[in-house]
A and B are shown apart, each in its own frame.
Chain A
């Protein structure tokens, strides 16, 4: 009995191990196959940044759109006392760098309103009329009288944040009051300027219930674009699920317009007074850098047309998260970690820059990368294939299993490959890869962990686009799931059978003492 069970166990192990070893060596396939364009998505001007005032840095980063509040209280400083200097300068600065603005029409104006004395709530007829007057003045100035330069306008910011009748909060009225305001505002604008593109209030988070209520209240009538702010802490691997939730609400209400992300990001605040803050600050900076490629790849691959990174630059309060979301260090930051002490851009700025300069006007191909799908580790490799207008390829890749590093390899008929990877993402600093020239092109070997790696693959002029065959080696992860754990389970079952196969558990009433 024991011998037969041992033979059974041994043969079971061999049955598992041999096919795996055989198939591992069989995965090496380097023949370039033509690109399958099924489901391809064209990427057009998705790179935007919030609260940006330095137009040179924006242009350097590749920012195309500047999202910024054109607040009612700053614009109308007393009834019909209009102030435009700030926004005139902004529009001029953006035009000089071939950028556009996404103004946010938002917040209350206690200098003009009569219906409330606190917070941000517009619900009386008088206040609504005053609000619409302000909205019209803005659009007349920067759209109608400016050769339609500012075409996209966002209606309010995060109206789902704020308590009813509170002193502060982005919206302090009821949800119904906000929905009514958005509905009337959109109806007014679309009637006067049918070509203006209206963006719904970017809600904080992606709350499908709030969005559903917004549609149900008719607030999306005459609104062209749906916006939301899917902040996700320090890990954006779940962004696609949130986008799908938002898409689900849109489908329910037959909304076919674009979906935009008008705020997203993660702050790098730290406490300079705490012991060891340097390491924490550096770790946060490097973690933030990994977030940017994940956001853009997952968003663009899921059909999001516009992503505003919140925000461009840091400010001086290092402990306040709101002032540390930026892609750019505060100009007088004395605490920059040693590897970045001479940098203007944070590591996240470097990732933003390389993506913005290469993904703009590219095409995303969902079937651009083929992986060795039979290995358990393969589905965790997230890979995104973008074909640039000049024929070059951008491959962004990371391992969604945050705990392990996977060695990958691919060969392309390329003329050169640049690699950008953590921790700094600065050009020329990546060390996790190896290039080898061969007869069929360049073979790239790299170690992929949870930090995205960006491969810029220069293809020969006129070359037909080809699929990337991404080979992943047989790792400890695969070994564990395919061999070690099943082996231990089998061992346990065998021991159990050897011990209890002939036992009579109900046969005797007599209990046995040890």
Chain B
């Protein structure tokens, strides 16, 4: 099979594994609403350990990746079978009581789905290194989960049967295509998407990069959590789920916005044969732009939920929130794709996506909190403080980073040869 097929399989696998995770995380609120302390610990422990174990394996044995993926698939399918057959259906967002083992198996399902998404993201990031059209690939990949989750919501009647069934089906289909398209050489060696030497050569070296990405991840996770959570918080799930497909379909529009930004800024950054200084500066500008865009989008979308009477739960709210979440996710990947560390290429992406996945799961949990209108108003009263904190961090970062940028830009203007050094 040709490399074009392999690229396509990477995009499809990325989209379908993201879809599988979103599908299985959709009803987490029904599981955790009446959860016990030991159940919470079991959930967090397994949901933490499984993806972290995969990250760890990603560091050690990249060449065993296909085997790792099929093992994760086995864990996912096995745990999904258990959940589908044993767990009550969470139709109507009901809370249930589960024993620790059941919660652990549920967490294994979540963790393995997230792990597949993490592995697929690392592949996608590697593909981005090789193909200048990667923002289009990213956009295509990120559009898939929105459409699939929307279809599952429309197909179901509020429960998780169709969500899980779809996830259980698309994972083996996706991996079959991926394995089939996987290139091997004459000696049947496992293909490595990114050679260690190349990874190191293309890394952007910046002393502040770790801190910047950490802050960016924290803010992105907070925004994703808030958008998904507030969108459904205090809504009557029996009616909310009938409208929620619009949210997921609209993520595609938001993804488009992120892709456009990526095409204009990050695409050149990934490919440019420039000095590390210039790449670092451009990366920072790209990063700050994405940060400002997503924070402002989030603040606008959440403010509409708070201020406009009759807006909450409407089709307009679903669409605006979906567009916002889509753009946040796309911008996040657009920013982190060119900014990997010199050595830990694959684990870096897996680690970053892990936090986003966790935020999405928590957001889905938040929306299941049963609240009355007054409880909602009380809870939502804290949002302006969140906005203020985000805004303050953003302002500080802009000022803190723009000053050195300005000085370095001046230096480059004064000494253009420095670019070629």
Which A residues are within 8 Å of any B CB, using their own CB?
Answer: 232-238, 241-242, 245, 274, 280, 283-284, 287, 321, 376, 379-380, 400-404, 450, 477, 480-481, 484-485, 488-489, 491-493, 495-496, 499-500, 502-508, 510-514
The reply to whether A401 and B175 form a contact with Cβ atoms under 8 Å apart is no
B313 (CB) vs chain A CBs: closest residue: A274
Tell me the B130-186 residues at the A interface (CB within 8 Å). 130, 156-162, 165, 168-169, 172-173, 175-176, 179-180, 182-185
The reply to whether A514 and B158 form a contact with Cβ atoms under 8 Å apart is no
Known: A238-B97, A376-B85, A403-B89. A511 touches B239 (CB 8 A): no
The reply to whether A489 and B77 form a contact with Cβ atoms under 8 Å apart is yes
B81 within 8 A of A: yes
Give bound CA distance, A1 to B185, whole Å: 19
The reply to whether B238 and A401 form a contact with Cβ atoms under 8 Å apart is no
The reply to whether A496 and B93 form a contact with Cβ atoms under 8 Å apart is no
Task: List residues of chain A with CB within 8 A of the CB of B85.
Answer: 376, 379, 481
Distance in Å: Cβ of A6 to nearest Cβ of chain B: 14
Known: A496-B70, A499-B179. A504 touches B188 (CB 8 A): yes
Task: List residues of chain A with CB within 8 A of the CB of B239.
Answer: 280, 283
Distance in Å: Cβ of A402 to nearest Cβ of chain B: 3
The interface-forming segment of B59-67, B291-299, B323-331, B346-354 is B59-67
Task: List residues of chain A with CB within 8 A of the CB of B157.
Answer: 402-403, 450
B95 within 8 A of A: yes
Give bound CA distance, A508 to B239, whole Å: 57
The reply to whether A488 and B95 form a contact with Cβ atoms under 8 Å apart is no
Which 6 residue pairs of A and B lie closest in terms of their CB atoms, listed nearest first? A402-B91, A235-B92, A235-B94, A492-B172, A403-B161, A402-B159
The reply to whether A492 and B73 form a contact with Cβ atoms under 8 Å apart is yes
Known: A235-B91, A491-B176. A514 touches B161 (CB 8 A): no
Task: List residues of chain B with CB within 8 A of the CB of A511.
Answer: 189, 191-192, 195
The reply to whether B156 and A495 form a contact with Cβ atoms under 8 Å apart is no
The reply to whether A234 and B189 form a contact with Cβ atoms under 8 Å apart is no
Distance in Å: Cβ of A472 to nearest Cβ of chain B: 15
The reply to whether B94 and A401 form a contact with Cβ atoms under 8 Å apart is no
14 interchain pairs, CB-CB under 8 A:
A232-B95, A233-B237, A238-B95, A280-B239, A402-B91, A477-B161, A481-B85, A492-B73, A492-B172, A499-B180, A500-B190, A503-B190, A505-B63, A507-B187
Across the interface, B165 reaches (CB within 8 A) one of A245, A480, A499, A510, namely A480
Distance in Å: Cβ of A130 to nearest Cβ of chain B: 33
Task: List residues of chain A with CB within 8 A of the CB of B180.
Answer: 495, 499
Interface size class of B (residues with CB under 8 A): 35 or more
B168 (CB) vs chain A CBs: closest residue: A485
Task: List residues of chain B with CB within 8 A of the CB of A513.
Answer: 195
Task: List residues of chain A with CB within 8 A of the CB of B70.
Answer: 492-493, 496
Q: Indicate with 1 or 0, residue by residue over B379-414, a CB within 8 angstroms of chain A CB atoms.
A: 000000000000000000000000000000000000
Known: A234-B237, A492-B179. A499 touches B77 (CB 8 A): no
Contacts A499-B182, A505-B189, A511-B192 known; 12 new A-B pairs at CB < 8 A? A235-B94, A380-B89, A402-B92, A481-B81, A485-B168, A485-B169, A492-B73, A492-B176, A495-B176, A496-B175, A496-B179, A512-B189
B6 within 8 A of A: yes
The reply to whether A512 and B97 form a contact with Cβ atoms under 8 Å apart is no
Distance in Å: Cβ of B156 to nearest Cβ of chain A: 5
Distance in Å: Cβ of A40 to nearest Cβ of chain B: 25
Distance in Å: Cβ of A192 to nearest Cβ of chain B: 40
Distance in Å: Cβ of A293 to nearest Cβ of chain B: 15
B3 within 8 A of A: yes
Across the interface, A403 reaches (CB within 8 A) one of B162, B175, B236, namely B162
Known: A238-B96, A485-B165, A493-B70. A508 touches B176 (CB 8 A): no
Give bound CA distance, A274 to B236, whole Å: 15
The reply to whether A237 and B84 form a contact with Cβ atoms under 8 Å apart is no
Task: List residues of chain A with CB within 8 A of the CB of B64.
Answer: 505-506
B342 within 8 A of A: no
B44 within 8 A of A: no
Known: A234-B238, A492-B73. A400 touches B88 (CB 8 A): yes
Known: A233-B92, A238-B96, A403-B91. A283 touches B161 (CB 8 A): no
Distance in Å: Cβ of A120 to nearest Cβ of chain B: 20
Task: List residues of chain A with CB within 8 A of the CB of B84.
Answer: 376, 481
Give bound CA distance, A28 to B27, whole Å: 36
Give bound CA distance, A504 to B189, whole Å: 6
Across the interface, B161 reaches (CB within 8 A) one of A401, A484, A507, namely A401
B370 within 8 A of A: yes
Give bound CA distance, A238 to B31, whole Å: 11
Task: List residues of chain A with CB within 8 A of the CB of B211.
Answer: none
A506 (CB) vs chain B CBs: closest residue: B63
A239 (CB) vs chain B CBs: closest residue: B94
